[in-house]
């Protein structure tokens, strides 16, 4: 087989996505819009969710196991759609307060701590540990009083008049945006999530390697979940909300 044939074969492979559960679907949702010709396999490890409160070694082990599964199935690229980077948002600051909502593990990470140290002078960055929040998405509870009460408990103590943005530092949180807006009322606060940025970067990297499909294929999305529960697959499809996809 010639090099060109090999590359063309590889272009036909799906792109893998993984997350501790359903959160990475917020990133996948953007990726399918950007790359409609591509096939995707999404693996949600809901059986072991949440990752964000587990020790690092255990998260690594769980992640590697899922990555191996996806590689064995044959993929041409992989997005680990978990613990989204928040640096872009922080560099956009206008001097006001920025709340960073994320899992305890993300906030503990060196990467985040370095970011905090780097921009401490420019912005008032306040980490908000949101243990228990991803569970709302995993249960399909995207609105309601209980969620509002959660936001009140976590955000009211740190929301100031000069709060300019809230970073949704976990891929589950974009699904809760509507209720968060409702909770914030008429406050002019920018909600920042990294899903589009992550998808654009994924596309850029595949393009550089010549791995994007160039044929007229209509992309498909396959959802897998370690829990083996059909209702989680159904909920995943509902969250993705892509009527044109199978």
Q: Does 49 bind ligand DGL (CB under 6 A)?
A: yes
Q: How far is the CB of 173 from ligand DGL (least distance, A)?
A: 8
Q: Which residues pair with 190 in a beta bridge?
A: 165
Q: How far is the CB of 246 from ligand DGL (least distance, A)?
A: 25
Q: Which residue is nearest to ligand DGL (CB)?
A: 52
Q: What is the 3-state secondary structure (H, E, C) of 53-119?
A: CCCHHHHHHHHHHHHHHHHHHCCCEEEECCCCCCHHHHHCCCCCEEEEEECHHHHHCHHHHHHHHHH
Residue in 25, 82, 206, 239 annotated catalytic: 82
Site map (CB under 6 A) of ligand DGL, residues 107-146, x = contact: ---------------------------x------------
* Contacts with 238 (C-beta within 8 Å, 6 or more apart), sequence order: 140
Among 11, 63, 86, 103, binds ligand DGL (CB under 6 A): 103
208, two tokens: 């550089």
170 has catalytic annotation: yes
- Mapping DSSP to helix (H, G, I), strand (E, B) and coil, where does residue 145 land? helix
Q: Which residues pair with 18 in a beta bridge?
A: 43, 80
- Which stretch in 15-23, 61-69, 72-80, 152-160 sits in contact with ligand DGL by CB under 6 A? 15-23
Q: How far apart are CA 199 and CA 29, in angstroms?
A: 9
Among 14, 16, 23, 219, binds ligand DGL (CB under 6 A): 23
Active-site amino acid positions:
82, 170
Positions that interact with ligand DGL (CB under 6 A) = 19-20, 23, 49-52, 82-84, 103, 106, 134, 170-172
């Amino acid at each position: 087989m010639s090099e060109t044939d090999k590359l063309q074969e590889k272009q036909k492979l799906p792109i893998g996505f993984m997350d501790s559960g359903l959160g990475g679907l917020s990133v996948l949702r953007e990726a399918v819009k950007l790359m409609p010709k591509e096939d995707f396999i999404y693996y949600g490890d809901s059986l072991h969710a949440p990752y964000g409160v587990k020790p690092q070694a255990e998260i690594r082990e769980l992640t590697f196991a899922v990555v191996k599964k996806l590689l064995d199935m044959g993929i041409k690229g992989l997005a680990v759609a978990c613990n989204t980077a928040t640096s872009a948002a922080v560099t956009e600051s206008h001097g006001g307060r920025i709340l960073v909502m994320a899992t305890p593990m993300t906030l503990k990470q060196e990467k985040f701590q370095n970011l905090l140290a780097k921009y401490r002078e420019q912005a008032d960055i306040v980490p908000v540990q949101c243990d228990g929040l991803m569970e709302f998405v995993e249960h399909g509870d995207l609105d309601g009083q209980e969620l509002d009460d959660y936001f009140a408990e976590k955000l009211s103590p740190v929301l100031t008049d000069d709060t300019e943005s809230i970073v949704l530092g976990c891929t589950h949180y974009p699904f809760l945006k509507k209720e968060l807006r409702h909770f914030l009322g008429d406050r002019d606060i920018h909600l920042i999530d990294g899903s589009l940025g992550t998808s654009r970067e994924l596309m850029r990297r595949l393009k550089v390697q010549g791995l994007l499909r160039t044929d007229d294929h209509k992309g498909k999305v396959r959802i897998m979940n370690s829990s083996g529960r059909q209702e989680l697959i159904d909920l995943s499809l509902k969250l993705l909300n892509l009527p044109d996809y199978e």
